Structure 1
Amino acid sequence: MRTAFKQLSILWLSLLLLGGLSFLIVQLAPVRAWLWRHTGEEELLAQIKGFTDLLSDRLRPPLTLAPDAEMQHADVNPFGVNTFLEQEVEPAKRELAIRMAAEAGFHWLRQEFPWEDIEIHGKGDFEDRRHEPHRSAWEKYDHIVETAEAYGMELIVRLSNPPAWTRAQGEGENNVDTFAPPDDVQDFADFVYAVVSRYKGRIRYYQLWNEPNIYPEWGSYPISPEAYVELLKAGAEAARAADPDVIIIAGALASTINLQPDDPPPGNSLNDLLFLQRMYDAGAAPYFDIMAMQGYGLYSGPTDDRMHPRVINISRHKFIRDLMVKNGDAHKPIWIAEMNWNAAPEDVEPRYGRVTLEQQARYLPIAYRRVIEEWPWIGVANTWYLKRATDLWEQNRQPEAYFRLLAPDFTPQPVYESMRAFTASLEK
């Protein structure tokens, strides 16, 4: 009995010493640096938790990424930024925004051409009669295209957000919401044809819809990959008829683990991996050239290598790539529609995680370096976002405001300066 007690005491003491030694080891600078490089965590306890996550990843089947596959639209300038140029009333401010994007080293402007702002009052009606004097609804968008060209920038145009006349059920409370798809996909196809025809030879890249797997981008309708594929097919066929050289980008999938496609809004949403597989099952492959998804880091940094299907981090695109390869689309790249970290102040809800301004400025260039050096299946990664025209988001204390590179008055944020320095360093 005494011997057994002695053995247990020795074992307990050994474990205690081993645990203490391990704790000391993980605090060594080289170990902490390794943990940061693989977990994207900067705090010690989070790094230890991250290390256990990395170990558990070894128990899951490896992903099929086909990094050496020949891909079109992957070997491109990776630097893109989301803009809200249509919200700038003054042409001079639109030009200043584009110039400052160019000066920060961005090549692509991901810009929505909202359907409701172009074909406003009825089918085939492209006059804006909301204000006096009436004017062509194309006027503002023509200026955006011309100014982007003047600064040597390319546009990624997002086509979405239907006008009210496309839905008999209407908008507002107890209706289908402003972002919901049209009743007739042919209306969307005709709008796509009109836009692509107008800018043929000047704009090649069009994203058809955005985040069709979540509310509010699919309105209050049940989330339906099959219905989205119908919309995608109609839009892609119309775009290719207008310009055979056009490149179609699928609607960017929101990264989500939710499985409630039929819930009342705002709960109607569907996991992006399931949504994409059902898109393939519904025959989507011929109707897009590039897959798009969101690439937010959220609650961990840009070096996070953990891969768990129910955790959203910077590496989630590998799951999407794996699905694409397994469905015969290894030749298509992924373009990241939105990427950044949220630097919300302490009095703002950290709905998208929270980093300091210094961390945001440090994280975004690291993410782009990984895109360039580690992930050959990613073509463009678009930062979310350059600026908004007003400070309404800030006034309402919405966390969406704090992804910005520029304040509404064009004041550069630290992340703008870090991106300008990073892109400049690559040119040397």
Structure 2
Amino acid sequence: MRNPAFEAGRLTSRFSPYVIRVVAICYILSLLAPAPPRVYPEPPQSVLTMHPLVCAHTRLTDEVEDWKVQQTLQLVREMGATTIVELFPWAYIEGQRDAFDWHHPDRIIEMAHNEGLQVIARLGIVPAWARPDPNKQPTTLNYLAPNYYEAYGEFVAAFAARYRGKVDRIIPWNEPNLTFEWGDRQVTPEEYVQFLKIVYQAAHAANPDVIILGGALAPTLEPEDSPVAMNDLAFLRRVLQAGGGASMDALAIHTYGFTAPMDDPPSPDKLNFRRFELLIDVMKTFGAEKMPIYITESSWNDHPRWTNAVTPGQRVEYTLEALRYVEAEWPDVRNLCFWYFRAPTLTRSYPDYFAFVTPEFRLKPIYEAVQAYARGWKTEVP
């Protein structure tokens, strides 16, 4: 009678030398693999540009390797952009209450500063300790109950104090007129004003020079009673009616071209690039026409099959027209920031076609066109 255990032992002893050899070979090959490129600090750089309006929305949040962060920021500078917008997640920095880990923002801000780039910081993503117990109430990473507004304000204050002189423009939250961005809670402009007031006071107490950018609203035609979003014009109007203008130093605007050309005129029932003018009209109605404007998200997409995309040639044409138009007609707009510069990985869907640079650092035609414009180079591009 055959003993299965005995047979298994014979097989193990027979193949163990081969297993050892395979493991040894794998180990040796791992030693031979090239190390990641080292990051050597450059001498401080300056941005060479003819058009300081140009700004890039970077996505360095989940970029692990320092050399990729550095190369991304170098390419932003070489494109002629003066400014970046970057998300700094609250959850990454204050993973435990009152215990801060500043490594992530320190490295990005220091590298950006060394490249001569200005930074607009977007602060969001709620840590687990500031959200309900998931076993009792499942929530998203954007969920922030009113009883934690003070905690978020303290975080913004700590950020503003730490980076005073290097990061003096902060966007608290993002697109609060979208239910998803508001933590799957009912969107209410009046509650956003309460939130903004707490943040504004805390930030200015920590850094009197800080510029708080309110708004950053998503362009949408949803009605005021929609369960998924609120029309951005209606939302801003109610924010100002509730006194929200006193708790912002500037207005952040998101405006996308979708399939319309740059010169498509604005209308309350249309989503196009020039919709930002309607938001400025709302500001004027409430006597805030002198408030600085930052377009912190804008772009056209050139995916070959997405219904909201244009061709690569149209994207270049519309983008350059937008830069010329804003610079000539809207001097109160301080930056036009394009979504987005580069992401660490591909989604293999339409979002990849917003990028100016691929994850492998291949420059797209839109990069080269904006670079030629910003640097004042002669070009055949329209």
Q: So what's the TM-score if we normalise by structure 2? A: 0.82
Q: Secondary structure at the match of 2:171?
A: strand
Establish whether residue 385 from structure 1 lines up as the match of residue 340 from structure 2: yes
Establish whether residue 328 from structure 1 lines up as the match of residue 287 from structure 2: yes
Q: Which amino acid aligns with 1:177?
A: T
Cα distance in 2, alignment partners of residues 110 and 390 from structure 1: 19
Shift of 1:251: 3.3
Quick one: which of 248, 252, 255 aligns to 1:292?
A: 252
Q: Which amino acid aligns with 2:99?
A: D
Q: Which amino acid aligns with 1:329?
A: A
Residue 372 of structure 1 is matched in structure 2 by: 327
Residue 181 of structure 1 is matched in structure 2 by: 144
Instruction: Deviation per CA, 1:62-87: give whole Å up to 9, x if none.
Output: xxxxxxxxxxxxxx931111011121
Cα distance in 1, alignment partners of residues 81 and 226 from structure 2: 39
Q: So what's the TM-score if we normalise by structure 1? A: 0.73
Shift of 1:289: 1.0
Quick one: which of 240, 245, 260 aligns to 2:209?
A: 245
Cα distance in 2, alignment partners of residues 220 and 284 from structure 1: 22
Instruction: Deviation per CA, 1:382-425: give whole Å up to 9, x if none.
Output: 0101110111x12xx2x222100001111111100101111111
Cα distance in 1, alignment partners of residues 302 and 337 from structure 2: 17
Cα distance in 1, alignment partners of residues 255 and 273 from structure 2: 6
Instruction: Deviation per CA, 1:302-339: give whole Å up to 9, x if none.
Output: 122x2320101111111111110110101102211111
Quick one: which of 356, 375, 382 aligns to 1:405?
A: 356
Q: Note closer, same or farther for the CA distance 1:226–1:123 as it changes in structure 2 (3 Å cut).
A: same
Q: Which amino acid aligns with 1:281?
A: Q
Cα distance in 2, alignment partners of residues 254 and 289 from structure 1: 19
Establish whether residue 117 from structure 1 lines up as the match of residue 92 from structure 2: yes
Establish whether residue 103 from structure 1 lines up as the match of residue 62 from structure 2: no
Q: Contact between 2:142 and 2:180, CA under 8 Å: does it hold in 1?
A: yes
Residue 207 of structure 1 is matched in structure 2 by: 171
Q: Note closer, same or farther for the CA distance 1:275–1:426 as it changes in structure 2 (3 Å cut).
A: farther
Residue 166 of structure 1 is matched in structure 2 by: 130
Quick one: which of 339, 351, 366 aligns to 1:415?
A: 366
Q: Contact between 2:179 and 2:186, CA under 8 Å: does it hold in 1?
A: no
Residue 308 of structure 1 is matched in structure 2 by: 267
* Structure 2 runs not aligned, ≥5 long: 1-50
Cα distance in 1, alignment partners of residues 135 and 367 from structure 2: 37
Q: Note closer, same or farther for the CA distance 1:152–1:248 as it changes in structure 2 (3 Å cut).
A: same
Q: Which amino acid aligns with 2:70?
A: E
Shift of 1:362: 2.2
Cα distance in 2, alignment partners of residues 313 and 307 from structure 1: 7
Q: Secondary structure at the match of 1:259?
A: coil
Q: Which amino acid aligns with 2:319?
A: L
Cα distance in 1, alignment partners of residues 295 and 225 from structure 2: 23
Cα distance in 2, alignment partners of residues 178 and 361 from structure 1: 35
Q: Contact between 1:222 and 1:261, CA under 8 Å: does it hold in 2?
A: no
Establish whether residue 217 from structure 1 lines up as the match of residue 177 from structure 2: no
* Structure 1 runs not aligned, ≥5 long: 1-75, 127-136
Establish whether residue 231 from structure 1 lines up as the match of residue 191 from structure 2: no
Cα distance in 1, alignment partners of residues 208 and 117 from structure 2: 22
Quick one: which of 48, 53, 56 aligns to 1:78?
A: 53
Q: Contact between 2:224 and 2:234, CA under 8 Å: does it hold in 1?
A: no
Relative contact order (alpha carbons < 8 A, sep ≥ 6): 1 or 2 greater? 1
The alignment-based identity, stated in percent, is: 33
Q: Contact between 1:200 and 1:242, CA under 8 Å: does it hold in 2?
A: no
Segments of 4+ in structure 1 off by > 3 A?
169-172
